[in-house]
Amino acid sequence: MAPMGIRLSPLGMAVFCLLGLGVLYHLYSGFLAGRFAFFMLSEPAAGEPDNPRGSAPAGAVDLRELLAASVLAAVKGGEEVKRVREGNVLNAKAKGKTREGAEEQLTSGDLLSNRKMFRLLKGAFPAVQINSEERVDTADQEPVSWDRVIPDDIKQKIQPKEVPAESVTVWIDPLDATQEYTEDLRQYVTTMVCVAVDGKPVIGVIHKPFSAYTAWAMVDGGSNVKARSSYNEKTPRIIVSRSHAGKVEQVARQTFGNKTVIIPAGGAGYKVLALLDVAERNQEEADVYIHVTYIKKWDICAGNAVLRALGGHMTTLTGEEISYTGSDGNEGGLIASINMNHKALIEKLPDLEKTSHK
């Protein structure tokens, strides 16, 4: 009870209480903020993951995760390629001409596969540069998610390896061998993903949509494919583009003899698989892969990575390594081999480099 003669105003009491609360807030807010900051920045307890949200720290990319996502992207893209072809709704149209004057075809399979592959990889690794053969519609924001599950075969063979995100370039070929695709030559068609670090191809995925076969490899990591054990360096079987068979045949037979076999085929991915031990009914076998004209890097990056991982080589016709940074084209043609004397092959075929400029 208040002393006699003193009356307490309700308004005054309210003001007094508010002033008291203000003093308490001032005294304790700094303390509580400090404790909160300490909690957020403190080291995780024993047994807890350093990065509880998964994957690599900010600014870094785990190559094992990127390999797993690349395999899934190639498969998802392949599903679109197969669906369009089997539904016979290609909507094929010319998108331009090659340097040799041939019409380049564009189909719904290219576009739908590209959308799936690009969205999946960009959604999972937003900081990574992705180069694709087809343009991506920026207005199309349909998400394609990855559940971050790493398949057992990759988990067993590949160890986690982090690299700076800015050093990574991903090359997507959403439909390799589009011309053959329009002609319903399904065995040549592949979808491919390649990962280059500082311009060097380190991860390659080649997927055949119509047989569901997938080859993958990581340099200094592991693979699910291996090289064939038997090769013939004296009279090699040389696989080339269907349109280049005549250019290569004359030079090759002058060098190796008339018994040299020239194999015309479609698709760079298919041609690299021809050098490997692939359990595929419709896969031809070859000893050397040669391309004598300009070629885009998304066509060859995945195959280059697979060959490098298995100890093989893919170079220009003069033996120079191909860098997967900068422009999207390779001017110097290519020669690819595995378990062969690559340098000797280049020295035996000097006239092919001249052919690449014709």
DSSP per-residue string spanning 50-76: SSTT-SSPTTEEEHHHHHHHHHHHHHH
Q: For residue 12, give both structure tokens.
A: 């005054």
Active-site residue, selected from the candidate residues 110, 191, 287, 315 = 110
Active-site residue, selected from the candidate residues 107, 169, 178, 260 = 178
The pLDDT, as a whole number, for residue 142 is 74
237-241 vs 288-291, strand pairing mode: parallel
Task: Among 3.30.300.30, 3.30.300.180, 3.40.50.300, 3.40.190.80, name the CATH number for the domain at 226-348.
Answer: 3.40.190.80
Closest to 62 measured CA to CA, from 225, 223, 218: 218
Active site residue 178: yes
> Residue 321 forms beta bridges with which residues?
315
Active site residue 110: yes
The pLDDT, as a whole number, for residue 156 is 96
Q: What is the mean pLDDT of each run of 10 residues along the chain (358 residues)?
A: 51 57 48 38 38 59 98 98 97 76 84 95 95 78 86 96 97 97 97 98 98 97 91 87 87 86 96 94 92 95 98 96 95 94 88 59
Q: For residue 56, give both structure tokens.
A: 């690599």
Q: Is 184 annotated as a binding residue?
A: no
Q: Is 176 annotated as a binding residue?
A: yes
| Cβ-based burial of 20 (10 A; exposed 0-12, middle 13-18, buried ≥19) | exposed
The pLDDT, as a whole number, for residue 97 is 63
- Report d(CA 192, CA 71) in Å as an integer: 9
The pLDDT, as a whole number, for residue 228 is 86
E strands of 107-246, at which residues? Answer: 129-132, 162-164, 168-176, 190-197, 200-208, 213-218, 222-223, 226-227, 237-241
The pLDDT, as a whole number, for residue 42 is 35
Closest to 117 measured CA to CA, from 70, 67, 63, 66: 70
Domain 60-223 indexed as CATH 3.30.300.180: no
325-331 long-range contacts (CB < 8 A, ≥24 apart) are: 325/169, 325/196, 325/198, 325/199, 327/297, 328/131, 328/296, 328/297, 328/298, 329/294, 329/295, 329/296, 329/297, 330/294, 330/295, 330/296, 330/297, 330/300, 331/294
The pLDDT, as a whole number, for residue 145 is 87
The pLDDT, as a whole number, for residue 13 is 61
Q: Where are the domains of the chain?
A: 60-223, 226-348
Q: Is 133 annotated as a binding residue?
A: yes
- Report d(CA 209, CA 338) in Å as an integer: 25
